Amino acid sequence: MAPTDENLPSASDIERFDPCAAARPAAPAQPTVSDRKPPTAASEIGWGLVSTAILAAWLGWQWGWVFAAAGVLGVLVHELGHLAAINSLGCGPGRIHVIPFFGGAASMARAPDTEFKGVLIALAGPVAGLAATAPFYLLYANGGDRIWLQGVLFIGGMNLLNLAPVPPLDGAKALGPALAWLHPNVERAVMILLGGIGVYWAVSHGQFLIAVVIGLSLAQALRGRAFRVPALRLTALQWAVSMGLWVGAVVLCGSVTWSALAPNT
C-alpha cells in the first residue's frame, strides 16, 4: 500500500539523515501557464490554414468537393456570427479556431454574466451561418445545376444540427438554460434522449469519431461537470424570448435545409 502523508519523512528528518540536503539549491521552478509566451500571429495564421486544409480534405474525402467548400465557408461564417455576438455583448475580444474533423469554435475573453447573453451568443452562430448559402444559391440560379444545392443542404443541415440541446453543440447553451429553468431534470432528460439518438446515428453512419465526442460530452455533462459557465439565470421574460428565438432559429435553418431537398426548388 502506498504510504500516506503522515508516513512520509519531514524536512527536518531529511536534513538529519543527509546534512547536505539543506545546502543544495532548490530545483528551478517550472514555468506556469501565465509564464508561457502567447502564440504569435504568424503561428496562429499558419495553424489556421493547416486546420482549414485538413477540414476541407476530410470533408472532400467523405462527401465531395462541394461539401468541402460549403463546410469551410459555412464554418467560417458560423463562427463569425458567434464572434460578432461575443464582441457586441462585452465578452470579447473573441477568437476563432478551426478544429480539424469537427469544424470550429469561437472563444471569448470573458464569460457572459447572464444566461441570456449566452443564449444570444449561441444562437448567433447558426443564424448567421446561413448567410454562407448565398453563393451556392446564386450559382444554382445562374446555371440550374443542382449540385450547388448540396452546399445549401450541408450548411443548412449543419446549423440545424447545431441547435440540438446536446453538448458540445450550440443548442446546449441556446436551449439548455430554458430547459433548466423549468427543472434541471428536464434538461438532463432531453440531453439523454437526443444525445442517444445522435450517438446511434453517428455509429450507424460510420462516424465513430463524432459518436465518441457526443458520448463523452454527454457523459461529462451528466456527471455534473459544467458545460456552461455559471451566470445569472433567465428571468421569466428572458425564458420566453429564449424559447421563441430558438424555435425561430430551428424554423429558419430547417427551411433552408428543406429548400435544398424540395423537388421543385
Query: Which triple of cell numbers denotes residue 124?
Result: 448567433
The whole-angstrom distance between residue 97's C-alpha and the CA centroid of its chain comes to 10
- The H or E element containing residue 56 is helix 41-63
**Residue 126 near residue 159, CB atoms below 8 Å:** yes
List of residues 6+ apart from 186 with CB closer than 8 A: 179, 180
Closest among 61, 51, 102, 96 to 209, alpha carbons compared: 102
* pTM of the complete model: 0.75
- Secondary structure string (H, E, C) spanning 236-257: HHHHHHHHHHHHHHHHHHHHHH
Assign 254 a pLDDT band (cuts: 50, 70, 90): very high
Q: Which of 85, 95, 68, 102 is nearest to 210 (CA)?
A: 102
Decide if pLDDT at 116 tops 80: yes
Give helix then strand counts, H and E, for the chain: 11, 2
The pLDDT score that the predictor gives to residue 228 is: 65
The residue among 111, 115, 110, 100 whose CA lies nearest residue 47 is 100
- Residue 102 CA to residue 86 CA, distance in Å, equals 21
CA 1 distance to own-chain centroid: 43
pLDDT at position 24, please?
42
CA-to-CA distance for 241 and 111, rounded, in angstroms? 21
Average pLDDT for the chain: 78
What phi, psi does 89 have (nearest 5°)?
A: -95, 10
**What percent of the chain is modeled with pLDDT above 70?**
72
Rounded to whole angstroms, the Cα distance separating 44 from 172 reads: 28
pLDDT at residue number 195: 80
Q: How confident is the model at residue 43 (pLDDT cuts 50, 70, 90)?
A: low
Q: Which single residue is written with the C-alpha cell 450559382?
A: 139
pLDDT at 145: 85
Nearest 5°: phi and psi at 167?
A: -65, 145
Q: What is the pLDDT of residues 198-228, one digit of tens each?
A: 788 778 877 776 777 777 777 776 676 555 6
- With a pLDDT cut of 90, the percent of the chain lying above it is 35
Query: What would the grid cell of residue 24 be?
Result: 543544495
pLDDT tens profile 229-251: 778 999 999 999 999 999 999 99
